[in-house]
Each structure stands twice: as C-alpha cells, then as structure tokens.
Structure 1
C-alpha cells in the first residue's frame, strides 16, 4: 500500500491548494478505487475553483500526530455521479452529521459537484 493510499484511508481530512487561493483549504474526503473523492458546492464544503482545475496540490497529514505525511500533485476530474454510484456511495458513507443522510446523494446530484483527485 502506498503512503498516499494509507494516509488517505486513515485520515478523513486533507488540505488542497486551490487555484488563486493563498493557502490550502481543509476538506473531508474518502479514498475509493485508487483515488480521493471530495464533494463541493451547495451546502457542502466550499472548494472554489476545484472543479475547474486541471491539477491541484494535496497534503495529507498523519492522523496520529498531525505532521505532514506526504504532499503530491493530483489530476482533477469532475465525476458523473449517475455513472459512478459506488464512488458517490462511499463518499456519502463518510459524510459525518449529514442532516439529510437518507437523501444525501439526491441532494448532491442537484446541487453539488463530486470530484476525483488522482495522484499524478
């Protein structure tokens, strides 16, 4: 298992350096099928410019002590939510405290963007 996969699986948060942003943004995520998935938009976490970016810089920190575990570039791809139900379900499962857990994926389909970050 690579350090990226291990770090992404062990921690539910990461930092993404977004285009035009002065400092990285904290985001929750899930690891699924060799990539990191995040959701942005609507009432979910705000990650402006992520869906339009080609690449971003991702930082994973150790869950144990908070130190930087690894940093890497990732290719950005907007996910067709209807064509990737397993990835969206995995992301929804890791969404803590959703007020509408039973209909969460329906809300995402209407108002949010799911993004796949593939280590480059």
Structure 2
C-alpha cells in the first residue's frame, strides 16, 4: 500500500466508523471524531476510560469496517493533549459525535473542566 493509499484508507475508515481500537495496556475500544486530518477523542470525567493514553507519545490504532468488523487499516499515531480552548472546531466535531450524552448542551464545558481531549495524528 502506498503512502497516499494508506492516508486515504485511514481517512475513509475514520470517517465511516465512529469507533476504533487503541493498543494501550491492552486493546481498548474508543469512539472518536475525524477532523482536519486527525482523530480526536475524549477521556476521563465521565467519558470513556483510556488510562495512560495521555502519557504516551505514540499509540497503535486499528480501524475496522462498520459493516462487517473486518480490519481496514492499522497504523501508528502521534498522541497530543489538545488545549480545548484553542481548538473549538475540533472539540465541536467531537461533541457532535458524542451519542446519548445526558448533558449535551453543557458537554464541552464539562469536558473543559473534567476531561482530556486528545489528537491522534497518523504516521504516513
């Protein structure tokens, strides 16, 4: 697979499926949003638990088909903590993907107070 093919597969897979697998201490399922060439996710503060992810420099990511669960692409990604105040569009994209939040109208305020938003930038 060429670099451009891999980039296209990552983007397509991340856009079509709202979940992915991260290898942290073990494989962990996580919901996410694709925005501006990267994967964004939130952890802590009543959201999904992804212990230790914010301390990593890199993480192994697996994207699977929404239709049949088949592996679409695996890749390494750089991990960075997001300054939520400096990235309102990314946080808004992530909030839009958050299903069944009990406090949806105050979701981003809760995240700013209690959670960590992370950006996973795929290696190409």
Q: Normalising by structure 1, what TM-score?
A: 0.96
| 2:91 matches 1:93 | no
Mind listing any 5+ residue stretches in structure 2 that lack a counterpart? 1-6
Q: How large is the RMSD of aligned CA atoms in angstroms?
A: 0.8
Matched residue, 1:17:
23
Q: Which runs of 5+ in 1 are unaligned?
A: none
Partner SS state of residue 51, structure 1 = helix
Shift of 1:64: 1.4
Partner residue in 2 for 1:102: 105
1:46-92 alpha-carbon deviations (Å, 9 max, x no partner): 00011110000000001111010000000000000000000000000
Paired residue for 1:119, among 115, 119, 122?
122
Cα distance in 1 for residues equivalent to 2:76 and 2:14: 14
Where 2:100 maps in the other structure, the secondary structure is: coil
Aligned to 1:54: 57
Deviating runs (4+, > 3 A) in structure 1? none
**Alpha-carbon distance in structure 2 between the residues aligned to 1:39 and 1:74:** 16
Question: For residues 110 and 50 of structure 1, what CA distance do their matches in structure 2 show?
Answer: 18
Is structure 2 residue 45 aligned with structure 1 residue 42? yes
Aligned length: 117
Which has the larger helix fraction?
Answer: 2
* Aligned equivalent of 2:34: 31
